[in-house]
Chains A and B, each alone.
Chain A
Amino acid sequence: MSDIVEKTLTALPGLFLQNQSTGGPGAAKASFSSRLGGLVRGITALTSKHEEEKLIQQELNNLKATVSAPTTTLKMMKECMVRLIYCEMLGYDASFGYIHAIKLAQQGNLLEKRVGYLAVSLFLHENHELLLLLVNTVVKDLQSTNLVEVCMALTIVSQIFPREMIPAVLPLIEDKLQHSKEIIRRKAVLALYKFHVIAPNQVQHIHIKFRKALCDRDVGVMAASLHIYLKMIKENSSAYKDLTGSFVTILKQVVGGKLPVDFNYHSVPAPWLQIQLLRILGLLGKDDQRTSELMYDVLDESLRRAELNHNVTYAILFECVHTVYSIYPKSELLEKAAKCIGKFVLSPKINLKYLGLKALTYVIQQDPTLALQHQMTIIECLDHPDPIIKRETLELLYRITNAQNITVIVQKMLEYLHQSKEEYIIVNLVGKIAELAEKYPLFGPQVIQYLYVLVLNTVDTYAPDNAWFIQTMNAVFSVGGDVMHPDIPNNFLRLLAEGFDDETENQQLRLYAVQSYLTLLDVENVFYPQRFLQVMSWVLGEYAYLLGKETPEEVITKLYRLLMSDSISSETKAWLIAAVTKLTPQAHSSNIVERLIQEFTTSLDTCLRQHAFELKHLNENVEFMKSLLPVDKSCEDMVLLKARGLALTFEDNDDIALALKNLMEMKPFRIQSVDSSLSFLDGFVAEELSQGAAPYKPHHQRQEEKLSQEKVLNFEPYGLSFSSSGFTGRQSPAGISLGSDVSGNSTETGLKETNSLKLEGIKKLWGKEGYLPKKGSKTGDETEAPPVPQETMIMENVDQTMTKKDQSQVPTQSKEEKEKQLLASSLFVGLGSESTVNLLGKVDTVSHKFRRKSKVKETKSGETTSTHNMTCSSFSSSSNMAYEEDYYLDNFQDRGDKELKKISLNSELLDSESLSELPLVEKLSNCRLSAPSLFADNMEVFHPPQSTAASVASEISLTSSLLEETTEHMHSDPTEVCNNETISVSSYKIWKDDCLLMVWSLSNKSGLELKNANLEIAPVEYFKLQDTAIVISGNMLIALPLKISTEDFGKLWLSFANDVKQNLKMSESQAALPSTLKTLQQELRLHVVDIIGS
């Protein structure tokens, strides 16, 4: 009671003052608004920022005086607060008024209280210390019987409230859930939502009350509770599956117009409510068929009802589509949803177009054909004047990138990059490009260089966080690796060592790099390019100390493991040993170091041996080593390294010690200035030389010598990815063909040889952009009108087929053709049974293909739709650039390719017992003899040599009955597929450089005239009968070309080659999406672009 009296007393002088000075509240109001008005007018009249500052500062000073004056009434305080709010909004500091805002909220009447609360909510942030002073007021107001006060208190709680004080108000707010007024209940629910967000464990016990809120008789309260459910379901959908029925019922009623008309917005019933419910359903039905089935009806209804042409109906439609694609698929709904997406994409309204693209981006993985349908629009959108639309389109393209279209897509991205000036977008896009580059290692050195410059520019200009920089650089190194210019890693290391302006920032960058590399090294069965490993080892050696005291041993262990790995070149090993040397002084125990010394002091590689000896000597004298290898002295260290390189030329170990000692003495000098020519060592060198030491040889020279020594013995593996562990690395196709040819020689020389050998043939087809078609026009087109070439290419294919037809009739082939053929066979190597010679040397490749074959078979068996989808999507999406009519063709080619693979592999590996051929063959054996209506008009007639017409029974004659054409191509031996007394069917294959011909030869043994033949092929969609040859003259040949051209095969092959299979171990605790994603990110280096709908 006493404080009330006190308050009243303090208020009294103000009252008098107010009455005296203004004579009434009306006047006060006028004076206030005029004062604020004056301020506003004053500010608007000003021209410079400086003047504005002055004016506001003046105003703030006035306000400061007023608010702290004891005579100021609450009413005046309220006015002051409004002006303070205005000043704060303009960005000026009004912190002196914060405490007064809290006071006002505490003491004022309703109107003043409201302003006080408002000021508090605008001024303070969640961790502000003054906020604690508000708690009492809030508690008091929550207990008030005045609804407005309760409302205000609930509002402030949901806006800003100290986490640790939640228990103080929680019971009060819980009580409010039973309040008779719906508005209070509703606000209470939202306040609880706030608590759920900031401190979920504190509201766990009231989940049952949320359910009550969901069942509230008032729609508003129920709608408010949906916020909570959306959040909770997003976090853990499985716990709320039982509510699906309720949500569906609610949505049904809403859609059915059962709500009061008040809830209609533009005659759409409660659109926001519908949106919320659809989102919840989408989350609940994800990957859950049973739950999804519950919602099919209502979704269908929603899709049907949303006909009105208002903005908000589209909002509902969009959510609906999103939900339909999120939940367990139902084809009917998908169809309708696809139609809706069409509506969006084709809409002239730009907002809808944007959303259409967004929807496409979302569904593209599930249904790539949809993108094909809208490809024209997508292409238009690429050149849309609105950069946001463009960006969304790029996002869409990013999702459908594959080996074939990557060049075009990256080019588009780069174009966009040049136009864009927004930091966020640039940073994002550069990262994406680097990722793509990593995923599809087709880039030549120039592109890598360009990418590197791009990354550095981005860092310079925008300084995105360390994580971005290191990860993007990791991507660049992984992809560029061995093709990149050696300057790039060197520059990067220098950048790390020299750092930017801020030292702590530098340390963080280095620390991040160290951590990131350690994680990368932990990944098993992944092979990084040598240069990348070198970068890693340098950074680890230099900066592992940043991790703390305990870790050097661990790092050394990792480096040692790497050293023992077979896939490491000796140059990289030298880097690794250097890193270990640097780390040794920091480590406590050095078992591993000892082991390493033992291992490498006997190494045949002189360079490594010397490194090891050096380490050994240093290791014997720890103190000396510590002073010699101080931490974080990398810049000086460079001199040291060079000097050491010099010292290494002296074979005698004493000399090394001497050299190092000399260097030690020169340390002060080194710190002053870095003398890169090391002139200060000249005297020393001269002395040593005069004593008979070997002259210094530059590093590369030594390397060469080393290599020449090594020619006999090879310590290297035969190609990175072909170790027996299986095909796990990311390899360029070149790598495959190279690796397969490396036999016994030293890898490096071996590689060189194969390189030069292969280049003659390959140069024309494989360029830095990836695959180059034979007709040079493609590259030209690509730069001008990127979407078109895909189409022209396919057209070309058709052309080529046509020409081929001509050629087959005129079997004279130019020399060029022969060359092509050679090339084709070198590309198709391993596909024909003729290539046994090649096969000998490449068991790995075959086994790898063999594995893939089984995968294809799996796909075929149709049990795993998902795999099927995946394979299909990777293929058919490739043709996104092509126009719709080409889709069929493309799709066919994909399938054809699979078939082709199977057949050829079978013929390779399983002899003639071709399993996958059987269904075909069986059908064939039933071939009913009827009119060849199936065949197209452009039949081709092959006339087999007359001599063979008579003798048809024996296989020998069949061989001779091969088409003339076949003699010029690789072909398999004909095998009899089936026969009966009248006819026999045999088949063989012809590999032409642009297609595979399946030839079935039908022999009539009876001597009766065959009137007609009907060919039925079981999975019809796998084949397209383009040109078939039928000869009815006692002997019948049916040639079924599997139309696949070199180009297509090259590409398909490429996409296969990049197919990476990796088993990821995920513990069950990692079930949550974020952790799964994180694992995926780390393991597969996937990039999470956007998590839609969860």
Chain B
Amino acid sequence: MIKAILIFNNHGKPRLSKFYQPYVSTPPPPIRSEDTQQQIIRETFHLVSKRDENVCNFLEGGLLIGGSDNKLIYRHYATLYFVFCVDSSESELGILDLIQVFVETLDKCFENVCELDLIFHVDKVHNILAEMVMGGMVLETNMNEIVTQIDAQNKLEKSEAGLAGAPARAVSAVKNMNLPEIPRNINIGDISIKVPNLPSFK
């Protein structure tokens, strides 16, 4: 399982952080997990930033991340570090390629992605990530598929938002009425539905 995905720049400024496993101390005092998360980001940056270019892309996690079972797998692109924190059930090289897929997808969606894109479109980046990794599990690894999904959603959202600024409230209010008969724009048919050649096996 992927425990966390972190992106930070060369100075350690976080650009994206997504934790799939809560890093919280025991329930009684509901300590915000945020502090632990910040610590993890700092520690990870500390670990990753001092690595040379010609060393391997795998790191043993520190104590914070959860001991020997966990690993940091990272890639360094220009100004950004992409770090995936995974447990032993993930393949190291597989994750390494997943990072590549992620970055290529970002590149496709933003057209020459740069650090600023990540800053100004945090939500978008998260959306793209959500199409790839869901709850710490790899959902989709096909770049085109991810891009199609994102495009379809954007289109849908735009069309809904495009109904006009003002009536949007009314629309959403109507939507809140649970009336399934109302035809909805459910046309995300661009998603190519693949029929694989797998015969049904039992």
Q: A: which residues have CB within 8 A of B? A: 1, 4, 7-8, 11-12, 14-15, 18-19, 24-25, 33, 36-37, 40, 74-75, 82, 85-86, 88-91, 93, 95, 107-111, 114-115, 118, 122, 125-129, 140, 143, 145-148, 154-155, 158-159, 181-183, 186-187, 190-191, 193-194, 215, 217-220, 222, 224, 227, 230-231, 234, 245-246, 249-250, 253, 258-260, 262-263, 265, 271-272, 275, 279, 311-312, 314-315, 318-319, 350-351, 353-355, 385-386, 388-389, 391, 422-425, 427-428, 464, 1089-1092
Q: Does B107 touch A at the CB level, under 8 Å? A: no
List, in ascending order, chain A residues with CB within 8 A of B188's CB.
Answer: 147-148
The answer to whether A272 touches B157, judged by C-beta atoms less than 8 angstroms apart, is no
A246 to B27: give the CA distance in the assembly, Å: 42
The answer to whether B30 touches A127, judged by C-beta atoms less than 8 angstroms apart, is yes
The answer to whether A148 touches B157, judged by C-beta atoms less than 8 angstroms apart, is yes
Select from chain A the residue with minimum beta-carbon distance to B63: A424
Residues 58-72 of B contacting A (Cβ, < 8 Å):
58-63, 67-69
List, in ascending order, chain A residues with CB within 8 A of B55's CB.
Answer: 350, 385-386, 388-389
Contact among A14, A187, A234, A265 with B141 in the assembled complex (CB-CB below 8 Å): A265
A422 to B185: give the CA distance in the assembly, Å: 55
The answer to whether B34 touches A88, judged by C-beta atoms less than 8 angstroms apart, is yes
Residues 176-202 of B contacting A (Cβ, < 8 Å):
176-178, 180, 184-186, 188, 191-198, 200-202
- Bitwise, B26-60 to A at CB < 8 A (1) or not (0) is 01001011110110010000010000101111111
* Given A91-B34, A127-B27, A1091-B88, also A272-B134 (CB < 8 A): no
Contact among B47, B91, B156, B178 with A110 in the assembled complex (CB-CB below 8 Å): B156
The answer to whether B62 touches A423, judged by C-beta atoms less than 8 angstroms apart, is yes
The answer to whether B127 touches A312, judged by C-beta atoms less than 8 angstroms apart, is no
The answer to whether A82 touches B56, judged by C-beta atoms less than 8 angstroms apart, is no
- Bitwise, B150-192 to A at CB < 8 A (1) or not (0) is 0001001100110001101111111111101000111010011
List, in ascending order, chain B residues with CB within 8 A of A311's CB.
Answer: 93, 96-97
The answer to whether A222 touches B198, judged by C-beta atoms less than 8 angstroms apart, is yes
The answer to whether A190 touches B137, judged by C-beta atoms less than 8 angstroms apart, is yes
The answer to whether B137 touches A312, judged by C-beta atoms less than 8 angstroms apart, is no
List, in ascending order, chain B residues with CB within 8 A of A108's CB.
Answer: 172
Select from chain A the residue with minimum beta-carbon distance to B165: A25
A-B contact count (CB 8 A): 258
Select from chain B the residue with minimum beta-carbon distance to A151: B153
Contact among B88, B98, B200 with A217 in the assembled complex (CB-CB below 8 Å): B200
List, in ascending order, chain B residues with CB within 8 A of A82's CB.
Answer: 122-123
The answer to whether A217 touches B195, judged by C-beta atoms less than 8 angstroms apart, is yes
Q: B: which residues have CB within 8 A of A? A: 13-18, 20, 22, 24, 27, 30, 32-35, 37-38, 41, 47, 52, 54-63, 67-69, 88-89, 91-94, 96-98, 101, 119-120, 122-123, 126-127, 130, 134-135, 137-142, 144-145, 149, 153, 156-157, 160-161, 165-166, 168-178, 180, 184-186, 188, 191-198, 200-202
List, in ascending order, chain B residues with CB within 8 A of A183's CB.
Answer: 149, 191
Contact among A217, A234, A258, A351 with B57 in the assembled complex (CB-CB below 8 Å): A351
List, in ascending order, chain B residues with CB within 8 A of A260's CB.
Answer: 194, 196-197
The answer to whether B141 touches A272, judged by C-beta atoms less than 8 angstroms apart, is yes
List, in ascending order, chain B residues with CB within 8 A of A246's CB.
Answer: 201-202
Tell me the smallest distance from the CB of A51 to a CB of chain B, in Å: 14
List, in ascending order, chain B residues with CB within 8 A of A312's CB.
Answer: 93-94, 97
List, in ascending order, chain A residues with CB within 8 A of B127's CB.
Answer: 114, 118
List, in ascending order, chain B residues with CB within 8 A of A11's CB.
Answer: 169, 172-173
Can you add 19 more A-B contacts, CB < 8 Å, to A82-B122, A424-B62? A25-B165, A33-B120, A95-B32, A111-B157, A125-B24, A183-B191, A220-B140, A220-B194, A224-B139, A227-B137, A230-B89, A260-B196, A265-B101, A275-B91, A315-B93, A350-B56, A355-B93, A464-B63, A1090-B68
Contact among A37, A91, A143 with B178 in the assembled complex (CB-CB below 8 Å): A143
- The binding surface of chain A is classed by DSSP as helix
A797 to B35: give the CA distance in the assembly, Å: 61
Contact among A93, A186, A391 with B139 in the assembled complex (CB-CB below 8 Å): A186
The answer to whether B135 touches A191, judged by C-beta atoms less than 8 angstroms apart, is yes
Tell me the smallest distance from the CB of A218 to a CB of chain B, in Å: 7
List, in ascending order, chain A residues with CB within 8 A of B52's CB.
Answer: 385-386
A354 to B194: give the CA distance in the assembly, Å: 37
The answer to whether B135 touches A272, judged by C-beta atoms less than 8 angstroms apart, is no
Contact among A8, A122, A129, A350 with B173 in the assembled complex (CB-CB below 8 Å): A8
* Cross-chain pairs A/B with CB under 8 angstroms, 23 sampled: A24-B165, A127-B30, A146-B184, A147-B186, A147-B188, A155-B130, A158-B137, A159-B134, A182-B194, A190-B134, A215-B201, A224-B139, A227-B137, A246-B201, A249-B201, A250-B198, A259-B198, A263-B142, A354-B92, A388-B56, A424-B61, A425-B60, A464-B63
A128 to B94: give the CA distance in the assembly, Å: 33
The answer to whether A272 touches B98, judged by C-beta atoms less than 8 angstroms apart, is yes
List, in ascending order, chain A residues with CB within 8 A of B101's CB.
Answer: 265
Contact among B120, B195, B196 with A36 in the assembled complex (CB-CB below 8 Å): B120
Contact among B58, B122, B135, B198 with A159 in the assembled complex (CB-CB below 8 Å): B135
Contact among B47, B62, B178, B195 with A140 in the assembled complex (CB-CB below 8 Å): B178
List, in ascending order, chain A residues with CB within 8 A of B202's CB.
Answer: 215, 246
List, in ascending order, chain A residues with CB within 8 A of B193's CB.
Answer: 181-182, 218
The answer to whether A90 touches B14, judged by C-beta atoms less than 8 angstroms apart, is yes
- The binding surface of chain B is classed by DSSP as mixed
A494 to B69: give the CA distance in the assembly, Å: 35
Select from chain B the residue with minimum beta-carbon distance to A112: B172
List, in ascending order, chain B residues with CB within 8 A of A385's CB.
Answer: 52, 55
A260 to B13: give the CA distance in the assembly, Å: 41
Select from chain B the residue with minimum beta-carbon distance to A36: B120
A97 to B201: give the CA distance in the assembly, Å: 50
* Given A89-B16, A155-B134, A190-B134, also A219-B173 (CB < 8 A): no
List, in ascending order, chain A residues with CB within 8 A of B126's CB.
Answer: 118, 122
The answer to whether A259 touches B157, judged by C-beta atoms less than 8 angstroms apart, is no
The answer to whether A148 touches B201, judged by C-beta atoms less than 8 angstroms apart, is no
The answer to whether B59 touches A388, judged by C-beta atoms less than 8 angstroms apart, is yes
A1090 to B67: give the CA distance in the assembly, Å: 10
The answer to whether A145 touches B56, judged by C-beta atoms less than 8 angstroms apart, is no
Select from chain A the residue with minimum beta-carbon distance to B20: A159
The answer to whether A158 touches B196, judged by C-beta atoms less than 8 angstroms apart, is no
Select from chain A the residue with minimum beta-carbon distance to B138: A272
The answer to whether B165 touches A18, judged by C-beta atoms less than 8 angstroms apart, is yes
* Given A4-B177, A109-B168, A126-B22, also A194-B57 (CB < 8 A): no
Contact among A111, A253, A319, A422 with B62 in the assembled complex (CB-CB below 8 Å): A422
The answer to whether A386 touches B56, judged by C-beta atoms less than 8 angstroms apart, is yes
The answer to whether B97 touches A351, judged by C-beta atoms less than 8 angstroms apart, is no
The answer to whether A193 touches B94, judged by C-beta atoms less than 8 angstroms apart, is no
List, in ascending order, chain A residues with CB within 8 A of B16's CB.
Answer: 89
Contact among A1, A86, A114 with B122 in the assembled complex (CB-CB below 8 Å): A86
The answer to whether A315 touches B97, judged by C-beta atoms less than 8 angstroms apart, is yes
List, in ascending order, chain B residues with CB within 8 A of A147's CB.
Answer: 186, 188
Interface centre among B144, B145, B169 (most CB of A within 10 A): B169
List, in ascending order, chain B residues with CB within 8 A of A1089's CB.
Answer: 68
Contact among A129, A181, A1090 with B88 in the assembled complex (CB-CB below 8 Å): A1090
The answer to whether B161 touches A109, judged by C-beta atoms less than 8 angstroms apart, is yes
The answer to whether B33 touches A125, judged by C-beta atoms less than 8 angstroms apart, is yes
A125 to B24: give the CA distance in the assembly, Å: 8
List, in ascending order, chain B residues with CB within 8 A of A154's CB.
Answer: 134
Interface centre among A148, A218, A1091 (most CB of B within 10 A): A148
Tell me the smallest distance from the CB of A135 to a CB of chain B, in Å: 16
Contact among B41, B97, B184, B194 with A145 in the assembled complex (CB-CB below 8 Å): B184
The answer to whether B141 touches A218, judged by C-beta atoms less than 8 angstroms apart, is no
The answer to whether A353 touches B56, judged by C-beta atoms less than 8 angstroms apart, is yes
The answer to whether A262 touches B194, judged by C-beta atoms less than 8 angstroms apart, is yes
Q: Which 6 A-B pairs have the closest CB atoms?
A: A158-B135, A315-B93, A386-B55, A91-B38, A11-B169, A125-B22
Select from chain B the residue with minimum beta-carbon distance to A109: B172
The answer to whether B161 touches A19, judged by C-beta atoms less than 8 angstroms apart, is no
Select from chain B the residue with minimum beta-carbon distance to A428: B68
The answer to whether B201 touches A315, judged by C-beta atoms less than 8 angstroms apart, is no
List, in ascending order, chain B residues with CB within 8 A of A126's CB.
Answer: 22, 24
